[in-house]
Amino acid sequence: MTIKDVRHFLDEGIWRVTDDELRNPLKRRWYTLLKVMVLSVQRVSRDRLVNRAAALTYSTLLSIVPIMAILFAIARGFGFSSLMEQQFRQGFEGQSLAVETLLQLIDSYLEHAKSGIFIGVGLVMLLWTVLTLTSNIERTFNQIWQVKKPRSLFRKITDYFSIFLLLPVLIVVSGGLSVFMATMVKDLAGYELMAPVLKWLVRMIPFVFTSIIFVALYIFMPNTKVRLINALLPGVVAGVAFQGFQYFYINSQLWVSGYNAIYGSFAAIPMFLLWTQISWCICLFGAELTYVSQNVENYNFEKDARNISRRYHDFLCILLMSAICKCFARGEHPYTAEEMARQHRIPLRLVKEMLYELQDLGLIYPVMEDEKSDSPIYLPAEDINRLTVGKLLERIDTDGTENFKVDHIGLFSKEWQLLTKVKECGYCEASLLKDV
Report the alpha-carbon distance of residue 86 to residue 107 in Å, rounded. 15
In the beta sheet, which residues pair with residue 378?
366
Q: Where are the domains of the chain?
A: 3-45, 47-298, 309-400, 407-436
0.75 exceeded by the pTM? no
One-letter-per-residue 3-state SS of 238-252: HHHHHHHHHHHHHCC
The answer to whether 381 and 355 are in contact (CB under 8 A) is: no
Report the alpha-carbon distance of residue 235 to residue 42 in Å, rounded. 19
| DSSP for residue 345 | T
The answer to whether 415 and 436 are in contact (CB under 8 A) is: yes
| Tens digit of each residue's pLDDT, the chain (436 residues) | 677 767 766 676 666 676 666 677 777 778 778 888 888 888 888 888 889 998 888 888 877 777 777 777 766 766 666 766 666 666 666 566 667 777 777 777 666 665 544 555 666 666 777 778 888 888 899 888 888 778 887 777 777 777 766 665 665 565 555 555 556 656 655 555 666 666 677 677 778 888 888 998 899 888 888 888 999 999 999 988 988 887 777 666 545 555 555 555 555 677 778 888 888 999 999 999 998 888 887 777 666 667 788 888 889 999 999 999 999 999 888 988 888 888 887 877 788 888 988 998 889 988 887 766 667 889 998 888 988 888 888 888 888 776 667 777 777 777 777 777 777 776 666 666 666 6
The answer to whether 167 and 152 are in contact (CB under 8 A) is: no
Report the alpha-carbon distance of residue 373 to residue 321 in Å, rounded. 22
Q: How many CB atoms lie within 10 A of CB 52?
A: 20
- Picking from 419, 304, 411, 293, the residue whose alpha carbon sits closest to that of residue 350 is 304
- Domain 309-400: which CATH class? mainly alpha
